[in-house]
């Protein structure tokens, strides 16, 4: 499995914010069709990793290889065009646009204008709640609905790789369960997902491959189950009672 | 093959809105033939049309893209000057440019071309100052654009540019709105068009802006306004979209400036003050930031209130033998300011919020249907 060419290869990635090293050289792979998760505490560099991949922040050194192409020099637009879509942290839907307009923005770079309507219908089938709210402003949706919209919006770009930045952030436990069910569904449909989470328990349960990020370094890696069973992970991230 | 999917459905509300606008145009045309041309109504309509265009252009920038620019007066000035410079008849140039030996420009363009040229010149300046200025955000951007407008105002009064701009002297004798009237053989007016044509010019320009706002490009602008980072993550290029929006907005401000020149019949750089930008900003805010309909309605209301309806407050008024107190020169502005405060207090979102005319009609239709359902 490891021998097969990875979809996304990150090697020795370093990112600086001013004088601060946010990422001190991390390497990880994302295989086609898998859910790969990065877990870690606040400030570990999880979001920075995603922002570096999507071209929103400049990298200091290292390589990011997507489907055989070096995407380090790409800007955000080119990265999206390559097939990497992002569900940003805190959802960041466009509050004053309707649900439908939000979805259309997601397809902004798609050339096949004719198929966008049918793409929107596909999203509505997956999230019937969005169909009901089609003409509502996105800002009036509940947190869970906004997260669905953010996922739908990213799916409108028809990405090969979907990156999700803390999709469970600020959502009620029941809604979090829904969101992770959606993530599993997306995987079942063959979409590769790079998931970033503080909710380590839920993330590890659905992940094929997982990495633990601590202050800009990867300190542990393994399959989701391995890390879920690891005592150090249990102590640090899962709040295990078996101390 | 793609036609069935891409064709936009035009709902009845949109059609009704178009019909309403068309009826207004017809009404203006008829009114103009029968009401004396000196009536304040036409002054208000002409200036209102001009301000409506500039307000909508400012709304495109400030309301729909979230670029808080205060350079409107500067762009209007450029449009007005370019229009004036290129349309003064050759015979009149010696008169106008009396201190500059008839000026440098010795050819005349048709009014229509000069007007578009004015817009293009404004857009060009917008492009240039946009390069550094659009990197700024909110208040810093507002200050920078405000400074630009002041610089332009000073520049156009500079004596060294006199052969082109006529220095601090006014440009005049160029074609005005009154030249749109169709005249008979003896010079008497046969068909009055001096109000209809400015309304048509503004209408066409605003129509273009509306199409733009409802296009994919316009949607991207609104996305940028709502959340720049998310918009960038969707693959929208922030810099080029903002620059284009800024240039387009300035283009129409330039056209609006040319219309203002036609309305005023003279152009002088010192009249394009910051206060003018604030007037436009006020119109945009009162109408609703993010509503084209609101900007149009409020510009006519604003002009009518400030030029016409409140005029009586500036003169002594007698009711029988009783002289109404307080009424004297300048009192109009006090009342006007109070009205504006009341409007801002009670219509926080402006008159229209972010709604447009078709939205209102859709609401009425829905309510009507609701009533029908309950009565059954």
- Taking the domains of chain B in order of start, what are their residue ranges? 14-26+40-366
B219 with A117: Cβ contact below 8 A = no
Report the distance separating Cα A98 and Cα A104, nearest Å. 10
Report the distance separating Cα A14 and Cα B338, nearest Å. 59
Report the distance separating Cα B276 and Cα B143, nearest Å. 15
Mean pLDDT of A192-213: 92
Q: Which DSSP helix (H) or strand (E) runs through B282?
A: helix B274-287
CA B366 to chain centroid: 33
Mean pLDDT of A18-43: 90
Q: In chain B, which residues touch A (CB < 8 A)?
A: 1-2, 5-6, 216, 219-220, 222-223, 225-227, 229-237, 290, 354
The CATH number of domain B14-26+40-366, selected from 1.10.3470, 1.10.10, 2.30.29, 2.70.98: 1.10.3470
Q: How far is A122 from chain B (nearest CA, A)?
A: 15
CA atoms within 13 A on the CB side of A16: 5
Tell me the whole-structure pTM to 2 decimals. 0.89
Strand boundaries in chain B, DSSP class E:
171-172, 182-183, 189-191, 266-267, 318-319, 322-323
Residue ranges for chain B with pLDDT beneath 50: 1-7
Q: How many CB pairs under 8 A join A and B?
A: 74
A88 with B232: Cβ contact below 8 A = no
Q: How many CB atoms lie within 10 A of CB A171?
A: 20
Q: Would you mind telling me the total number of residues written for chain A in this entry? A: 243
B222 with A97: Cβ contact below 8 A = yes
Under DSSP, the state recorded for B363 is: H
Nearest to A114 among B6, B233, B290 (CB): B6
pLDDT score for B6: 40
Report the distance separating Cα B136 and Cα B141, nearest Å. 5
pLDDT score for A3: 44
Among residues B250, B301, B207, the alpha carbon closest in space to that of B62 is found at B250
Please list the residues that pair with B266 across neighbouring strands. Answer: B172
Give SS3 for B319: strand
pLDDT score for B343: 82
Report the distance separating Cα A123 and Cα A149, nearest Å. 9
Report the distance separating Cα B12 and Cα B16, nearest Å. 6
| B63 contacts on A by Cβ (under 8 Å) | none
Beta carbons of B103 and B97 less than 8 angstroms apart: yes
Which tens digits make up the pLDDT trace of A76-131? 999 999 999 999 988 899 999 999 999 999 999 988 888 899 999 999 999 999 99
| B235 contacts on A by Cβ (under 8 Å) | 76-77, 79-81, 108-109, 157
3-state helix, strand, coil in chain B (%, to 5): 70, 5, 25
A60 lies within 8 A of chain B by CB? no
CA atoms within 13 A on the CB side of A18: 1
pLDDT score for A74: 92
Q: Which DSSP helix (H) or strand (E) runs through B78?
A: helix B72-87
A80 with B223: Cβ contact below 8 A = no
Q: How far is A79 from chain B (nearest CA, A)?
A: 8
A109 lies within 8 A of chain B by CB? yes
Return the residue matching tokens 């509505």.
Answer: A124
Q: Which residues contact A96 (CB under 8 A, 6 or more apart)?
A: A137, A138, A139, B222, B225, B226, B290, B354
Identify which has the larger pLDDT, B306 or A64: A64
A140 lies within 8 A of chain B by CB? no
Beta carbons of A155 and A182 less than 8 angstroms apart: no
Quote the percentage of chain A above a pLDDT of 90: 66
Beta carbons of B86 and B114 less than 8 angstroms apart: yes
Q: Which residues contact B202 (CB under 8 A, 6 or more apart)?
A: B49, B50, B52, B53, B256, B259
Beta carbons of A152 and A111 less than 8 angstroms apart: no
Report the distance separating Cα B313 and Cα B326, nearest Å. 9
Closest residue in chain A to residue B236, using alpha carbons only: A77
pLDDT score for B298: 94
Q: To the nearest whole number, what is the mean pLDDT of chain A?
A: 89
Under the banding of pLDDT at 50, 70 and 90, the label for residue A241 is low
């Amino acid at each position: 499995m490891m021998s097969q060419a990875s979809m996304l290869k990150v090697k020795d990635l370093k990112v600086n914010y001013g004088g601060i090293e946010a990422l001190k050289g991390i390497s990880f792979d994302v295989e086609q069709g898998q859910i790969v998760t990065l877990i870690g505490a606040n400030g570990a560099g999880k979001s920075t990793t995603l922002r570096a991949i999507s071209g929103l922040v400049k990298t200091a050194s290292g390589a990011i290889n997507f489907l055989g192409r070096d995407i380090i020099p790409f800007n955000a637009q080119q990265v999206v065009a390559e097939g990497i879509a992002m569900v940003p942290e805190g959802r960041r839907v466009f509050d004053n646009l309707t649900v439908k307009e939000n979805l259309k923005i997601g397809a902004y770079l798609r050339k096949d204008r004719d198929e966008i309507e049918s793409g929107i219908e596909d999203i509505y089938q997956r999230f019937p709640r969005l169909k009901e709210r089609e003409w509502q402003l996105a800002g009036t949706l509940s947190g869970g609905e906004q997260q669905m919209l953010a996922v739908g919006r990213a799916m409108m770009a028809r990405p090969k790789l979907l990156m999700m930045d803390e999709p469970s952030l600020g959502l009620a436990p029941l809604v979090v369960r829904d969101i992770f069910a959606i993530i599993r569904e997306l995987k079942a449909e063959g979409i590769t997902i790079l998931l970033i989470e503080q909710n380590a328990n839920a993330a590890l349960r659905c992940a094929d491959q997982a990495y633990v990020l601590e202050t800009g370094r990867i300190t542990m890696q393994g399959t989701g189950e391995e890390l879920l069973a690891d005592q150090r992970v249990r102590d640090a991230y899962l709040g295990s009672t078996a101390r | 093959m793609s036609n069935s999917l891409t064709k936009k459905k035009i709902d009845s509300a949109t059609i009704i809105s178009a019909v309403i606008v068309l009826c207004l145009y017809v009404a203006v045309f008829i009114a103009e033939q029968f009401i004396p041309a000196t009536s304040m109504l036409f002054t208000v309509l002409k200036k209102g049309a001009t301000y409506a265009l500039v307000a909508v252009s400012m709304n495109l920038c400030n309301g729909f893209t979230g670029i808080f620019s205060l350079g409107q007066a500067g762009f209007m000035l450029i449009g007005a000057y370019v229009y004036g410079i290129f349309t003064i008849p050759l015979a009149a140039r010696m008169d106008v440019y009396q201190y500059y030996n008839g000026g440098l420009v010795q050819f005349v363009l048709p009014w229509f071309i000069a007007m578009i040229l004015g817009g293009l010149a404004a857009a060009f300046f917008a492009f240039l100052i946009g390069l550094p200025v659009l990197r700024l955000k909110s208040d810093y951007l507002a200050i920078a654009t405000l400074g630009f407008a002041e610089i332009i105002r000073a520049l156009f009064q500079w004596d060294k540019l006199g052969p082109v701009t006529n220095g601090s002297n006014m440009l005049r004798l160029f074609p005005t709105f009154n030249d749109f009237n169709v005249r008979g053989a003896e010079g008497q007016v046969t068909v009055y068009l001096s109000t209809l044509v400015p309304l048509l010019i503004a209408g066409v320009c605003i129509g273009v802006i509306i199409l733009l706002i409802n296009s994919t490009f316009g949607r991207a602008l609104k996305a940028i306004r709502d959340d720049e980072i998310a918009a960038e993550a969707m693959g929208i290029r922030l810099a080029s979209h903002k620059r284009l929006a800024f240039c387009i907005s300035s283009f129409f401000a330039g056209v609006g400036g040319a219309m203002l020149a036609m309305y005023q019949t003279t152009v002088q750089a010192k009249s394009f003050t910051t206060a003018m930008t604030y007037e436009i900003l006020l119109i945009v805010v009162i109408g609703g930031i993010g509503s084209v309909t609101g900007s149009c309605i409020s510009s006519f209301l604003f002009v009518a209130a400030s030029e016409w309806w409140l005029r009586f407050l500036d003169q002594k008024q007698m009711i029988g033998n009783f002289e109404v107190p307080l009424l004297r020169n300048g009192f109009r502005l006090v009342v006007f300011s109070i009205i504006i405060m009341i409007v801002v207090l009670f219509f926080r979102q402006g008159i229209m919020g972010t709604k447009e005319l078709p939205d209102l009609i859709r609401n009425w239709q829905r309510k009507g249907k609701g009533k029908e359902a309950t009565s059954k």
